[in-house]
Amino acid sequence: MTCSSSTICTTERQRWVRLSTVAVAFGLALAPLAGHAEPEPEPEPEPYARSIAAARDALSRGDGVDAEMKARAALQRGAPRAEVSAYLGEAYLDQGDLDRARAWLGSGDFAPEARLSGLRALARLERDTGDLAAAAKAYDRALAIAPRDAGLWVEIGRLRYVAGEHLAAIAVAERAVALDPANVRALEFRGELVRDRYGLLAAIPWFEAALMHAPSDVSVLTEYAATLGELGRASECLVVTRRILQLSPGNPQAFYLQAVIAARAGDYELARGLMARTKGKLGALPGVLMLQGVLELAAGNTRSAADALEQVLSRQPDNLRAKELLARALFQGRQFRYLTLRFRGDIAAGATSPYLLTMVARGYETVGDRAAAGVLLDRAAAPQVPGLRVVGTNAVSLLLAKGQADEAASLAQQAQASTPGMYDTQSLAGDAQFARGDAAAAAQRYADAARVRMSESLLLRRFAAYHAMGDGEEAAQMVDAYLLQNPTSRVALRLAATLAVAQGDASRAGSILDYLRRSGGGRDVQLLCDLALVQDAAGEAGQGEASAEDAYRLQRANPTTAQVLGLSYATLGLNRQDAAALLDKARRMLGANPMIAEARARLRRTPG
């Protein structure tokens, strides 16, 4: 059939009408066969839209420099300031240029589609410049736009943690995960808080859950690797750090973690090489400085070691391990006079350990002041009874250092009332109650602090409180729980050995102490003396003698090493004259005590 050029075929028209009727009945639309206009084309995007999208993409990758370039390209293509300010300000923020970031973010002039990003960047800026109240206001405004944004809640949680609202931060982290169980930042933050509160092992599932959703996330991989390393799972940690370096070549944190593994394995040369590859990008962190001090000391560079350790103590003045290493560096560097002066304040405040006292005593001996050396050696040799050690320079600690326990308790109570969810206020309140002699109240405050963070320092203080209460069962449960989560903690292992001795289990105590000796405690005189005693109690007198001789070789002037070695000789019936001389030496310095009496009794019982 043919149709004229001026009409549509009648059959086709009738078919179109029928189809149109059916389409309308089903809410559909059909394109016209003819005689109808083509649909309107989509409007062309603004010429700067692609540059803004590229800037957002660069920010998501953490590339602040590229984001700046793309945002400025958008401006050159005619983008209004309000559409670019959020992204350009965040780009400068990522580069650490806070002044330029404020120039773009401070006014709060953001286009509607960029308002959420701009407010979050502004909150970061206020937080980084120390104005936490202004940061909170910016987050409140952002929250009004996106109240169910899990990532936004994570940022708010981190702000609250920095502000000391620790319990509130934990609640916010839980809310973020509830809002979006697949949000990587929420899972990461929850893992960090769980690690602080419960321990290393409990944090692993949270980091692994985050990696299930984002296996190439460098931030989560770094937290995961660090946690594995602290757990002693060195080979797994190494695998993860290698993956980090694949994703982020030259990543300084990955090299640092590898250096820690090498140092723990005793390969200090490799560790130094790995630290060199960080190119100083982590140099201000106390942990990095501590490792540098250890490596320089191992290499014999005592002045460099001392410099690094002094920097640690400028940031962490109560770091006892750093003090011990610094004392060793000063002694090996033959700075004997400075050694005696450097720790005068710590010794007066009681912020020392037997090792630190002994090192300073050796400094006094070298400069000829044997009287001062003898006083310190006596203190180093005195039995270490668990108790409160005042640290810190806050007002409560300073009052405690002056012996003003009641005033400290009153001040701590005021701090608790103003910031009840803060770790420091709870732990300091415990210190004040302990100083007043109320161990039960101290234990409760310490338990409240443990809801936020269970540090080794808090572990020691809680143990001291339980010891003062005579509650060995609760102390044992606490130490066992801590070791379950943190199996490599040397502090917790020492406490476990102490509990084993109290329970009459010399064999278990000996196993723990021997492990500590073999894993880096070979120069710890107190540890070696304790090991010798438990080996003797376990019927391993020969091994006890070897441990006692190691201790005595390290510190011949220490009366504790003399009496322990004298006891070992008396038990075996060896070197009777030496044993008697050692016991006489110990008695002159320590006075009569049950151990010396027992050693003399054994000498009388053994054949001459």
235 Cβ contact partners less than 8 Å away, ≥ 6 residues apart: none
523: its two tokens: 């120069």
Describe the crossing of helices 150-162 and 115-128 by its angle, rounded to 10 degrees: 20
- Tell me the C-alpha distance between 364 and 319, whole Å: 23
Q: Has residue 144 been placed in a domain?
A: no
- Tell me the C-alpha distance between 124 and 106, whole Å: 12
Judged against a pLDDT cut of 60, whether residue 3 lies above it is answered with: no
Q: What are the pLDDT digits (tens) for 365-423?
A: 999 999 999 888 878 766 665 555 555 557 888 888 788 889 989 998 998 888 889 99
Torsion of CA 549, 489, 493, 312, to 10 degrees: 50
Nearest to 511 by CA among 524, 530, 526: 530
pLDDT computed for residue 387 by the predictor = 56
Judged against a pLDDT cut of 80, whether residue 499 lies above it is answered with: yes
585: its two tokens: 């030496």
Q: Which helix (H) or strand (E) holds 527?
A: helix 525-537
Q: CA 311 → CA 101, 286, 294, 343, 356, distances in Å?
A: 30, 8, 13, 15, 18
pLDDT computed for residue 2 by the predictor = 41
Q: Which helix (H) or strand (E) holds 123?
A: helix 115-128
Q: Has residue 445 been placed in a domain?
A: yes
- Tell me the C-alpha distance between 64 and 57, whole Å: 10
Count up the domains in the chain and report the number.
1
Average pLDDT over residues 438-456: 95
DSSP string, 337-352: HHHHHHTHHHHHHT--
pLDDT computed for residue 100 by the predictor = 95
- Tell me the C-alpha distance between 488 and 261, whole Å: 13
Residue 260, helix vs strand vs coil? helix
CB burial of 157-169 (b: ≥16 within 10 Å; e: otherwise) equals bbbbbebbbbbbb
Secondary structure string (H, E, C) spanning 229-241: HHCCCHHHHHHHH
Q: Has residue 429 been placed in a domain?
A: yes
Q: What are the pLDDT digits (tens) for 544-555?
A: 999 999 999 988
HSE-CB for 292 with a 13 A CA cutoff: 24
Higher-confidence residue: 353 or 290? 290
Q: Has residue 543 been placed in a domain?
A: no
Block residue for tokens 């027992």: 598
Judged against a pLDDT cut of 60, whether residue 595 lies above it is answered with: yes
Nearest to 332 by CA among 294, 290, 283: 294
Q: Has residue 424 been placed in a domain?
A: yes
Q: What are the pLDDT digits (tens) for 267-287?
A: 999 999 999 999 988 978 899
- Tell me the C-alpha distance between 388 and 371, whole Å: 28
- Tell me the C-alpha distance between 578 and 565, whole Å: 9
Question: In sequence order, which ranges of 286-404 are alpha helices (DSSP H)?
Answer: 286-298, 302-315, 320-332, 336-342, 344-349, 354-366, 370-381, 395-401
Nearest to 356 by CA among 390, 320, 332, 386: 320
50: its two tokens: 């692609």
Q: What are the pLDDT digits (tens) for 86-105?
A: 999 999 999 999 999 999 99
- Tell me the C-alpha distance between 352 and 380, whole Å: 9
- Tell me the C-alpha distance between 229 and 200, whole Å: 10
pLDDT computed for residue 385 by the predictor = 56
If one counts every other C-beta atom within 10 angstroms of the C-beta of residue 102, the result is 17
593 Cβ contact partners less than 8 Å away, ≥ 6 residues apart: 563
Instruction: Tell me phi and psi for residue 133, to 5 degrees.
Output: -65, -45
Average pLDDT over residues 26-41: 46
Q: What is the CATH number of the domain that holds 404?
A: 1.25.40.10
The confidence band for 608, taking pLDDT boundaries of 50, 70 and 90, is low
- Tell me the C-alpha distance between 422 and 425, whole Å: 6
Q: Has residue 453 been placed in a domain?
A: yes
CB burial of 564-587 (b: ≥16 within 10 Å; e: otherwise) equals bbbbbbbbbeebeeebbebbebbb
Q: Has residue 132 been placed in a domain?
A: no
Nearest to 263 by CA among 233, 236, 294, 303: 294
Residue 255, helix vs strand vs coil? helix
**What mean pLDDT is reported for the chain?**
89
Nearest to 397 by CA among 361, 359, 350, 354: 350
pLDDT computed for residue 276 by the predictor = 94
Q: Which helix (H) or strand (E) holds 457?
A: helix 456-469
The confidence band for 207, taking pLDDT boundaries of 50, 70 and 90, is very high
Taking a C-beta distance cutoff of 8 angstroms, is the pair 217, 240 a contact?
no
Q: Has residue 434 been placed in a domain?
A: yes
Describe the crossing of helices 64-76 and 49-60 by its angle, rounded to 10 degrees: 170
Q: What percent of the chain has pLDDT over 90?
A: 72
Judged against a pLDDT cut of 50, whether residue 29 lies above it is answered with: no
If one counts every other C-beta atom within 10 angstroms of the C-beta of residue 470, the result is 10
Task: Tell me whether residue 555 is exposed, middle or buried, using C-beta atoms within 10 angstroms of its C-beta: 0 to 12, 13 to 18, 19 or more.
Answer: buried
210: its two tokens: 């985050």
DSSP string, 181-218: TT-HHHHHHHHHHHHHHT-HHHHHHHHHHHHHH-TT-H
Residue range(s) defining the domain that contains residue 445? 394-470
